[in-house]
A and B are shown apart, each in its own frame.
Chain A
């Protein structure tokens, strides 16, 4: 006996509408691949590349609570803004971000990261300085690598002091593609 898609969708919508979820997530197809987008009452809490659902759900449950459900409605706003961004029609995201799990320095860095403008590059060192710890470029690299909400918090705009792209949790190809989209790199 299988549950019809309509019945399934009805429950997933009702669960979110009644405010019973710790985390609602959905999958969003973009030019940089399929993304998992997860939101809590506080905002977008996770965006992941190449999501392994079972692993992501466990991680979200441990971090935010066990009531994790795939439910599209709460992610609609994030999905729409991502679509607009990839269509070149949006430069700034107007989305709350849930950074509650981040520690003090990490949160300060991520908040600074959110201020790096569309299409501009900055360096790990400069971000470290703006977060109040000028010598912590390496630690900033670690924070970027664990950025819970890439794209929305634009860690792709952060490069090495030599201008080299260095690294990206989603892979350098994606970093390049995002920077090309923003016109920060010449299109290949």
Chain B
């Protein structure tokens, strides 16, 4: 049986991952916009934190949230998401290599939703909280991502 990794107190989680989050956000947004996105990232993480079932892969989890916060900011600024570096350019190792490879071609939001649903076993409500959308939108993004994967598989 796999040992259950306890979710650490939020303070430890925040201390451990804040630099990696800020690094990623600055790379995506530049210095000034990164500061706002930093706060929003950890607030989203905090909103979903109570429902995490285990403490594994928390770095990848928070970097996924950071990425989505940054994408939202870029969209708001009407910048093309084509300029956004790909997940692979993140210097942290991602868990679930298989999931990573499989979902590489999905649109950003769907990919994040599929990752959080199948990589982290989060509920749609938590995924919505992490991505800053409703649970219904999270459910739709996940199932649309899965449908896209199935279609690709059948081709």
Contacts and interface: CB of A to CB of B under 8 A. Distances in A.
Contacts of B14: 11, 69
Contact of A67 (B22, B26, B49): B49
B23 interface: yes
B7 interface: yes
B50 interface: yes
A58 B9 CA distance: 6
A61 interface: yes
A155 to B, nearest CB: 26
A1 B26 contact: yes
A54 B47 contact: no
Interface residues of A, number: 25
Interface in B2-28: 7-12, 14, 18-19, 22-23, 26
A4 B68 CA distance: 22
B46 A67 contact: yes
A20 B43 contact: yes
B9 A10 contact: no
11 contacts: A1-B19, A7-B22, A7-B39, A11-B42, A15-B46, A21-B10, A21-B46, A22-B50, A53-B11, A57-B11, A67-B46
B120 interface: no
Contact of A66 (B18, B19, B39, B50): B50
Interface string A53-69: 11001101100011111
Interface string A66-93: 1111100000000000000000000000
A68 B47 CA distance: 13
A19 B140 CA distance: 29
A58 B39 CA distance: 24
Interface of A: 1-3, 7-8, 10-11, 14-15, 18, 20-22, 53-54, 57-58, 60-61, 65-70
B61 interface: no
A66 B35 contact: no
A2 B23 CA distance: 9
Given A3-B19, A61-B8, A66-B52, 7 more contacts: A7-B38, A11-B43, A15-B42, A20-B47, A60-B9, A67-B46, A68-B10
Interface in B32-62: 35, 38-39, 42-43, 46-47, 49-50, 52
Contacts of B43: 11, 14-15, 18, 20
A67 B10 contact: yes
B35 A67 contact: no
Contact of A14 (B10, B19, B39, B50): B39
